[in-house]
Structure 1
Amino acid sequence: MQKVLAQAGVASRRQVERLIAEGRVTVNGEKVSVMGTKVSSGDAICVDGALIERSDKLYYYLLNKPVGVVTTARDPQGRSTVVEIMQGVPARVYPVGRLDFDTAGLLVMTNDGELAHRLMHPSYGVEKTYRVWVHGPVGINALEQLRQGVNLSDGKTAPAKVVRRSGLQQRRTVAVDQKSDSFEVLEVTIHEGKNRQVRRMLGAVGYPVVKLERIAFGPLNQERQLLPGNYRSLTKEEVQKLRALVGLT
């Protein structure tokens, strides 16, 4: 059952085991408490009373998440979610990781729970690249701190890759304080998943983020331009690259 629920995108296998232990999973109306319970295609599996949609086919999409959309299946505050954007696809797909409400950019959506779990697990070190707008210029010392790791409240970050990009010609794309003379654009690559990590790293070295977007996730990038709110299917080659990246054949 853990495999079925993970493949349906409910959670990772480890998280599914926690759901079972907490008595939140039922099969055909009966609460399940035994790990490794076998299920068939005709069984009705529910988590917290909600019927799980099962699909024998795996789907993979790349979404350009807009600002103002939350990376969850449901939002108590009634805000738009990435799952709602994907309502037109053949199966219910879930986000791989998270992007903040006020962060835009590339997000993988899939019902392949095993792949999603590995892509999110820090041990596989999947790199994510962000384009960051800050009031500049950014000092050399700040760049070196980012490249060596920054002390945050939940521990020191791993070293980040940081590249300067000229931001002056992109000024019209960013809502900035008009009193500021200029801002600078950096590209920051990390492989961890601490909460709001890039924003906290830049804030810790004295450069609060003005605008943030993810421009690459592992081998996936914006080479094939996606407008905010749009999505596309991953190619067979792209799926193979993602699976190879985390040791899946």
Structure 2
Amino acid sequence: MERLQKVIAHAGVTSRRKAEEYILAGRVRVNGKIIKELGVKVGKGDKIEVDDVPIYQEEYGYYLLYKPKGVISAVSDDKERKVVTDFLPSVTERIYPVGRLDYDTSGLLLLTNDGEFSQKLTHPSHEVDKVYVAKVKGLATKQMLHPLTRGIKIEGRKTAPAKVEVISVDPRTGTSIVELTIHEGRNHQVKNMLQAVGLPVQKLKREKYGELTLKGLRPGDYRELNKKEVSSLLNLATNKTK
């Protein structure tokens, strides 16, 4: 059971706030009865009408995509570049990405049509840990990465402390592989953090989101999340606020 205004908004009729106004104005019927108070909950079997027009209650869907490089984290692009939803052609729900990955960044991206789920995972006070692996220019050391564990100022704002690890160093090519775990989601954050400590990113991949991984997937593959995985993500997001 879900609140009536949320169901109306999810159906694409209007925003949740406007849906509340519609209810108070007597413009909504549930099973033939006009509803004028907020707080009413409805289920899948209920017939809902707004201005005498029935609405379609779309099922929620939750998906994990292994986003390839060179793909836009959006549902459309005015330059006709590939977008993430191009890789889920059989999904009928009107899904959209939860947060984003840069055009040239690959890895784990979530997609859904559940706005509340998306908001909980991306809100600054709720965010879940995400693990990135980066190939950087330079010979990385723990000492170089240490400032990131305390937080550094980027564009006038200090980042939250990150977990860092040097995976490997290649003196021959002058490059290193490093791992960062962060829970924020600012634009180009990982790239900007590593650039700030003198390690420009050459290649970047998100390998983990909460407890979710890319195991068994190749770039362009996707799978649907099960109920346990969805609940786990929501629990992690909720625990962040405590």
Normalised to the residue count of structure 2, the TM-score between the two structures is 0.77
Distance 1:54 1:219, change over 3 A: farther
How far is the alpha carbon of 1:128 from its aligned partner?
Answer: 0.8
Q: What is the alpha-carbon distance in structure 1 between the residues aligned to residue 79 and residue 212 of structure 2?
A: 31
Q: What is the alpha-carbon distance in structure 2 between the residues aligned to residue 68 and residue 42 of structure 1?
A: 42
Structure with greater Cα Rg: 2
Contact 1:2 1:36 in 2 (8 A): no
Contact 1:97 1:120 in 2 (8 A): yes
Percent pairwise identity: 42
Correspondence for 1:77 among 76, 79, 95: 79
Corresponding residue of 2:22? 37
Contact 1:133 1:183 in 2 (8 A): yes
Corresponding residue of 1:205? 197
Structure 1 ranges of 4+ moved more than 6 A: none
Contact 1:55 1:91 in 2 (8 A): no
Q: What is the alpha-carbon distance in structure 2 between the residues aligned to residue 194 and residue 166 of structure 1?
A: 26
Corresponding residue of 2:217? 226
How far is the alpha carbon of 1:125 from its aligned partner?
Answer: 3.2
Per-residue deviation, residues 197-247 of structure 1 (Å, max 9, x unmatched): 00001111111101000001111112x321111100112221121122233
**Residue identity matched to 1:37:** Y
Distance 1:114 1:146, change over 3 A: same
**Residue identity matched to 1:131:** V
Q: What is the alpha-carbon distance in structure 2 between the residues aligned to residue 102 and residue 62 of structure 1?
A: 18
Corresponding residue of 2:113? 111
Is the strand fraction higher in 1 or 2? 2
How far is the alpha carbon of 1:5 from its aligned partner?
Answer: 6.5
Backbone CA RMSD of aligned residues: 2.7
Aligned residue pairs total 210
Per-residue deviation, residues 121-170 of structure 1 (Å, max 9, x unmatched): 111131111011012311343211111112111411111100111265xx
Q: What is the alpha-carbon distance in structure 1 between the residues aligned to residue 221 and residue 49 of structure 2?
A: 34
Corresponding residue of 1:171? none
Per-residue deviation, residues 7-28 of structure 1 (Å, max 9, x unmatched): 46x7xx9xx56xx7xxxxxxxx
Distance 1:73 1:6, change over 3 A: farther
